[in-house]
Structure 1
Amino acid sequence: MEDQRAENEPEWADAVPFFYQPDKRCIYRVPNKLRKVNEAAYTPQLISIGPFHHGKPELKDMENHKRIYCENFFTGTLKSKEELKSFITDRQGKILSCYAGTINQGDNFDFSEVILVDALFIIQLFMMDSENPENDYHILRSRWLRKAVEQDLILLENQLPYFLLQDLYNFAMPVSCFYPRNEVQAQEQENRQQRCFDLDKICYCLPCCRRSHPRDHSVLTVEAAESVHPFLKLTCEFFKSYSKGKSVRIGVTIKHFTDLVRHFLCPAEEMTWVDTPIKNICHARKLKAAGVNFRLLKEVGFVIKGDESHDCNFNLACFTSMDLKLTLFCVKDETECVVRNVMALEQFLYPDSAYICEYFLFMDKLVDTVEDVNLLIESGVLVNKIGCNETVANLINKLCVQIMDDLSCYGGVCGQLNKHYEISFWNRHVAILKGVYFKDLWTGSSTILGLFVLVFSIIGTMKSLEHNPI
């Protein structure tokens, strides 16, 4: 039985060294229980990247486009295809160790070739997008097609390890944004042809230059004045709709594009985590009735903060008000797909700091019906770009199905809200009165006028009783 299994197993399956497993894994297959909630959100619709979805008939049309991009890449590098494929083959074990899950592809499946084509396609796509977004290439010319490719590149099952893309970029395109690529390539070609330059001397003669590490390549690399890697700049530029101006912090290791998008969506500052899940809190309408105000928090990422204040100097609970501050949540067509894949990644890789999962678990508590969505939209903390508000309510309520909730970073905020609601009897009734009788200028004016009429009627009745006692 063992011999039969070994026979059917592809040769590259044995290339995974023991010391690469399992802590190096970062690309996962989404579990069936999670996938069944919305299978389309985890499945590429246009293009396959990596081994998990390679060869699917519905994705074959884009294979020709990937090959065209690869051919264009070879016109801009001095490396041959054999050199680049050897580069991939030498790192095959390390690449394989990043994938958690079975890779079933048959006898004709060339793992190195698949990884090379996909990696070169991504690098060439990013460079073309940065150099001339309005070019004549089919993918970038069509906004719809570009967005569809961008969305597929974020899927958890549709990833390449980021270290591979960056190392391959270093090996094939040793340039930075401060030096035009054609000038550096021309200089490199001249050096190769004349074969009379001492690279060590060049390193001391040219400004801002250094010799790159041998494990990457053996040519001269121009070093940028900034510490950001040029390929990381290209990547952030391509996914700028998610970055919102946020950069990758120094010391942060990006594992792949899903991980990069998570980094953009996470709070800028680390939060305190406790080993208790989010407590049940009242939905948005009840909190509003208890005097909780929903405010827009102008920070990057998904963040929720509570701010309690007192309207008088006596520090009485009945005069206490509270602001619940939330960063802007803009619901678009691609929102569910992006959020679900980031949440799935957190379930595997970040169980102790699942910021995105916690944010939407909290939102699930706030939103019960479409009225809660209406309230959040009126408060300016939620924007609906998919049409129906009821659809937004259903989306928020379904995002956390099959999501584990063992730790929480919003325990303090939940405690504040529950305490405020329990002791704010006065706030609740005042809020109800304001909502019914003072919701706008005309209603308030009518209420005040009615009160005056009532007071004068009572006074008139009392005076008439004085003059005409029963």
Structure 2
Amino acid sequence: MFFRVILRDVCFIFELFLRNYEHVLDNNDKLEEMKKDIQDYILRTPWLRKPIELDLIMLENQLPYFIFTELFDFILKKQPENQGNMNIPPYLSKHWKESEFHDFFIRITYEFFIDYYRNGKATIKKPGEVELQQLNEIKHFTDLVRQFMCPDSGYPRGPHVKTKCLYTAKQLDRAGVNFVPSEDHSLADIRRTKVTYNCFCIGWKYLKLKVPKLKVEDDTECLMRNVMALEQCLYPSEAHICNYISLLDQLINTVEDVELLVEKDVVQNFLGSNDAVANLFNNICDQIAETSFCYGTETLCEDLNDHYNNPWNVAKATLKSVYFKIFGLGVPPSLRFLSLYSQLSRSLQPSRICSSNLK
């Protein structure tokens, strides 16, 4: 009985993945009739598809990935002359080579979970052909989604220094750290670069933090908790997503931090309340044990802390935001200097009056 239940679940998932794949195929005359006939109720009903998609990712619902691949290979290993008696879509005929079985199932799995692969912006050669990312051995669907979120470079090796970011996003912004959204990297692939620009013939340096866009939706907490639970069980020393959520928790303390990240387009808030986003990240790391912290290993957090602790960086950021806020990038340095001189003269004038009165 147990095996019958598993078999039915697997067949349902095969049917779901294949019908989803048919919807993304090239819209040509040969497939137009087939696409009209296949109007799947689940796929055309968002409030049904999304819960099923999330249900397939939940850790307690997972089946080993090899069960899907073995059964899928078993189906495609049937001889082509017998396919008239089999309910197999016609576009599968080009995948009768045994070497292509596994890649094709990975491809249709990618297509179904495409929203979690580089924020839904996968490299697509043509409709129905997503460029496959080089993945490690897939254990199940939760593990697949986790690999989508992790950077391509993998977890950093070597000694892990658990340096944390001591300052919030709002504090770092006041110190001149520039938060920039990134759309072509994996979710946890946060990068920092030191940028130099010339002003008054002086090289001014600031820190740019490239953070992949994060969509915070109703199911974000459930998704992250399942991936984090997986890492706690199977990847305790390579908990990249736990580290990523922990870093966001360090950057977000109050509603002001969320407002800044939303303004910078780093966070897209679909919850309707910035307070709800702040509460989400302030509580999601409870009971999470970290044996290492990858963002401390590559000195990302050290650079952020050092940048804020340098009073000169805070002064430069204040100078830029207060005195040069009204000027565009095309304003000549001489005009900026005159504006600065005028502002400083006005600010020093009251002190001169006070000193003359004391005399």
Is the shorter-chain TM-score for this pair beyond 0.5, marking a shared fold? yes
Aligned position for 1:391: 276
Unaligned runs of 5+ in 1: 1-109, 176-180, 190-207, 210-220
Change (3 A) 1:457 1:231: closer
Question: Which one is further off, 280-289 or 302-311?
Answer: 302-311
Aligned position for 1:131: 22
Output aligned runs, 1:260-275, within 5 Å.
260-273=144-157, 274-275=159-160
Q: Report Cα offsets for 1:330-361 as digits up to 9, x if no partner.
A: 21222211111111111111112111111111
* Distance in 2 separating the partners of 1:185 and 1:382: 49
Q: Report Cα offsets for 1:40-77 as digits up to 9, x if no partner.
A: xxxxxxxxxxxxxxxxxxxxxxxxxxxxxxxxxxxxxx
Aligned position for 1:185: 83
Structure 2 residue 306 is the aligned partner of structure 1 residue 419: yes
Output aligned runs, 1:137-156, within 5 Å.
137-156=40-59
> In 1, are the aligned partners of 2:76 and 2:96 still within 8 Å (CA)?
no
> In 2, are the aligned partners of 1:304 and 1:326 still within 8 Å (CA)?
yes
> In 2, are the aligned partners of 1:319 and 1:427 still within 8 Å (CA)?
no
Matched position secondary structure for 2:156: coil
Matched position secondary structure for 2:59: coil
Change (3 A) 1:287 1:141: closer
Equivalent position to 2:189, from 290, 300, 303:
303
Equivalent position to 1:258, from 114, 123, 142:
142
> In 2, are the aligned partners of 1:284 and 1:375 still within 8 Å (CA)?
yes
Cα deviation, residue 277, structure 1: 2.8
Equivalent position to 2:63, from 136, 160, 163:
160
Cα deviation, residue 128, structure 1: 2.4
Equivalent position to 1:235, from 84, 103, 109:
109
Q: Report Cα offsets for 1:206-246 as digits up to 9, x if no partner.
A: xx99xxxxxxxxxxx82178685222222111112222326
Supply the AA of the counterpart residue of 1:302: A
Change (3 A) 1:449 1:405: closer
> In 2, are the aligned partners of 1:295 and 1:381 still within 8 Å (CA)?
yes
* Distance in 2 separating the partners of 1:328 and 1:262: 16
Structure 2 residue 72 is the aligned partner of structure 1 residue 169: yes
Output aligned runs, 1:286-435, within 5 Å.
286-297=171-182, 298-311=184-197, 319-411=204-296, 412-422=299-309, 424-435=310-321
* Distance in 2 separating the partners of 1:453 and 1:240: 55
Matched position secondary structure for 1:296: strand
* Distance in 1 separating the partners of 2:10 and 2:209: 44
Cα deviation, residue 155, structure 1: 0.3
Cα deviation, residue 130, structure 1: 2.2
> In 2, are the aligned partners of 1:268 and 1:301 still within 8 Å (CA)?
no
> In 2, are the aligned partners of 1:280 and 1:365 still within 8 Å (CA)?
yes
Aligned position for 1:284: 169
Cα deviation, residue 378, structure 1: 1.8
> In 2, are the aligned partners of 1:296 and 1:326 still within 8 Å (CA)?
yes
> In 1, are the aligned partners of 2:69 and 2:102 still within 8 Å (CA)?
no
> In 2, are the aligned partners of 1:278 and 1:362 still within 8 Å (CA)?
no
Aligned Cα root-mean-square deviation (Å): 3.8
> In 2, are the aligned partners of 1:302 and 1:329 still within 8 Å (CA)?
no
Cα deviation, residue 309, structure 1: 4.0
Cα deviation, residue 380, structure 1: 2.3
Change (3 A) 1:365 1:223: same
> In 2, are the aligned partners of 1:248 and 1:263 still within 8 Å (CA)?
no
Change (3 A) 1:268 1:455: same
Change (3 A) 1:267 1:449: closer
Cα deviation, residue 417, structure 1: 1.2
- Larger Rg over CA atoms: 1
